[in-house]
Structure 1
Amino acid sequence: MKLVRWLVFVAAIGTTALFIVFWEFWVKKQDTTGPVITCEEEDYSVSIDATEKKLLDGVEAWDEEDGDVTDSLLIEKKEIIPDTKDFILTCVAMDSSNNVSKYERTITYEDYHSPHFQAEQPLRFVIGDEGSLLNNFKAEDCVEGDITNRIKLERTSGSSNGEGIQTYELSVTNSLGDAATLPISVEFYTDTYENRLYYPNIYLTDYIYYIKKDEKFSARNLLKEIQIGATIYEYDKDDKKFYEMEEVEKEDGEGTELKKKKKGKEIPVKDIEYKSDVDTSKKGVYTVEYSYQGENERLGTTQLIVVVE
């Protein structure tokens, strides 16, 4: 019995000794500490075109065992701080023992802005054509480019079969999590032969226009043309007139083009009336309503949405 106890005692001592040896010569020598990441500048401004190398400029990583491991630095993720041009970059570095350290750096994209919407045609549609409304819009992001496929459209008032003005909200979110929304008003009308023949359609260069706060705004500069029936009047900014155009054959004989009609009708720009609530001293969403009454007494209107950023 004493022998058994003695053997058990010796085994316990041996196991303890082996554990101590293992701890001292293996575990304690294991590198379990990640690199230390430092940054020269806490506030850092760059262009949205900056490369990852540029974004990591001034960031260094040092490891107690491996020394300088700055070359291992990567950007794990990028998150926007809502309602700003500031982003939080999560930088990571790794040593040869696969220990990973993280560091958050705040940067400012000097030329960043939230996604912008575009409208392909006037916000005026035939009753029952609501289904094609979404196809009229595009979304452009200054980082990703075209993100039109992410646009959502939600009606906020009115009926899909109603005539008159109905309101909607456009929304889109880029990969950085920045969500842009825009309230819009859309006119629905009854399509008739008389409207097609006599209604003055006013066309603009843009129907959703973005402008910086405190910049000068001129509603006249967005005029493009007026169309009444098959007749098109093109706007000349220098002359401040709309000139009647006609379709003529190109000089090379390949196709046709529109040219100013000799002795054609002219429409002075002063005949276009404006109703505007645009105030570029304050950020927000505004509208301009253009109207023109032709000789046939028909009143044509179109709407411009102005976003002051």
Structure 2
Amino acid sequence: MIRLRRAICLIFVLACAVFVVFFIKVKMVEDHVPPVITCSEDELVLSVNDDQEEALMKGIKATDNRDGDLTKEVRISSISHFISGNERTVTYVVFDKSNQMGTLKRTVKYSDYTPPRIKMLHAPRCSAAEAANTDFVSYLSATDCLDGDLTSQVKLSMNDSLYNPQPGDYPVTAQVSNSAGDVCSVSFEITITDNEDESIKQYPALSEYIVYTTVGNMIDPMGYVVGLEQNGQITECNEDAGVMGAISVNSEVNYEVPGVYPVEFSYTGDGTLTAVTKMFVVVEGNEDGK
């Protein structure tokens, strides 16, 4: 019995010794302190033309209590969508040799950012005979200052009746977004024309069919007229005062309220029917949200 008690006491003492050794190792040997990332500026101002990866690392440093300088090991973990105007949040991460992780967030602001833009390549018009075989997305293009060409990502929302329509105006909405989560959405109309008499009409031709402006800034619609279009051929007449004077403009744009508004250009040639071309003006709010 005495030997059993001594054996139990010995086992207990050994267990305590093992625990103490393990505890000392955990506290004294293993690293539980994560590295620290610092930056010289809490808010970083960039240009969209900067080398983004290099510019985002500006002023970033990292140190660890055991591994020392880890600046070269810092990586960009994520970049948020825009959270306010042209501001995003960048998250940085770094690991030390013990796989302890350090993180840092800071705000990045673009000094010259502009939202993505959808443009219309030609007049939003199609004959009833061609409508069923027309890819209306091909009427559009899109560009972005961050991502470049976004044309392949443009989505068009429209009523199915547009593929087998009667002459008239059909509402559609085009939308595209960039990698920063900024969305450009433009609602406009596709005009389906009657097959008869189209060959003799002379439509005002424009340099732009979707135009962007901001609240309070009026555009000159006639400044976008470049000539007359007949049977798909454009005859330039921007210096022909007679023709230019015969084109009338009917604008419904409210420059005080953000939205998308139509502008109609009408022209009646000698002995021909009146032809109408539509432009759509996107009035955007100013940076202060007004």
TM-score (norm 2): 0.85
Query: Contact 2:131–2:162 (CA<8 Å) still a contact in 1?
Result: no
TM-score (norm 1): 0.80
Query: Contact 2:31–2:98 (CA<8 Å) still a contact in 1?
Result: yes
Query: Contact 2:81–2:179 (CA<8 Å) still a contact in 1?
Result: no
Instruction: Find the partner of 1:170 among 151, 169, 174.
Output: 174
**More divergent stretch after superposition (287-296 vs 68-77):** 68-77
- 1:112 shift after superposition: 1.7
**More divergent stretch after superposition (57-66 vs 151-160):** 151-160
Query: Contact 2:172–2:188 (CA<8 Å) still a contact in 1?
Result: yes
Query: Contact 1:278–1:287 (CA<8 Å) still a contact in 2?
Result: yes
CA distance in 2, matches of 1:140, 1:9: 79
For 2:274, the equivalent position in structure 1 comes to 299
For 1:211, the equivalent position in structure 2 comes to 213
Instruction: State the secondary structure of the residue aligned to 1:7.
Output: helix
Matched, 1:89 2:90: yes
Instruction: Find the partner of 1:146 among 140, 144, 149.
Output: 149
Counting only pairs closer than 5 Å after superposition, residues 99-118 of structure 1 correspond to structure 2 as: 99-118=100-119
Q: Which blocks of at least 5 consecutive residues in structure 2 are unaligned?
A: 285-290
Per-residue CA deviation, residues 59-97 of structure 1 (Å, 9 max, x unaligned), is 332322233322222222111235621111112223233
For 1:41, the equivalent position in structure 2 comes to 41
Query: Contact 1:89–1:106 (CA<8 Å) still a contact in 2?
Result: yes
Instruction: State the secondary structure of the residue aligned to 2:192.
Output: strand
Flag the structure with higher helix content: 2
- 1:202 shift after superposition: 2.1
Q: Which blocks of at least 5 consecutive residues in structure 1 are unaligned?
A: 243-266
For 2:287, the equivalent position in structure 1 comes to none
Which letter maps to 2:166? G
- 1:216 shift after superposition: 5.0
Query: Contact 1:37–1:101 (CA<8 Å) still a contact in 2?
Result: yes
1:111 and 1:278, CA in 2 relative to 1: closer, same or farther beyond 3 A?
Answer: farther
Counting only pairs closer than 5 Å after superposition, residues 2-21 of structure 1 correspond to structure 2 as: 2-21=2-21
RMSD: 2.5
Please list every run of at least 4 consecutive aligned residues from structure 1 whose deviation after the TM superposition is greater than 6 angstroms: none
Counting only pairs closer than 5 Å after superposition, residues 192-271 of structure 1 correspond to structure 2 as: 192=196, 194-196=197-199, 198-215=200-217, 217-229=219-231, 232-236=234-238, 239=239, 241=240, 267-271=242-246
CA distance in 2, matches of 1:45, 1:33: 32
1:82 and 1:296, CA in 2 relative to 1: closer, same or farther beyond 3 A?
Answer: farther
Query: Contact 1:82–1:178 (CA<8 Å) still a contact in 2?
Result: no
Instruction: State the secondary structure of the residue aligned to 1:186.
Output: strand
For 1:263, the equivalent position in structure 2 comes to none
Per-residue CA deviation, residues 148-173 of structure 1 (Å, 9 max, x unaligned), is 22221112696542320111111122
Flag the structure with higher strand content: 1
Instruction: State the secondary structure of the residue aligned to 2:113.
Output: coil
For 1:184, the equivalent position in structure 2 comes to 188
Matched, 1:58 2:33: no
Which letter maps to 2:136? L
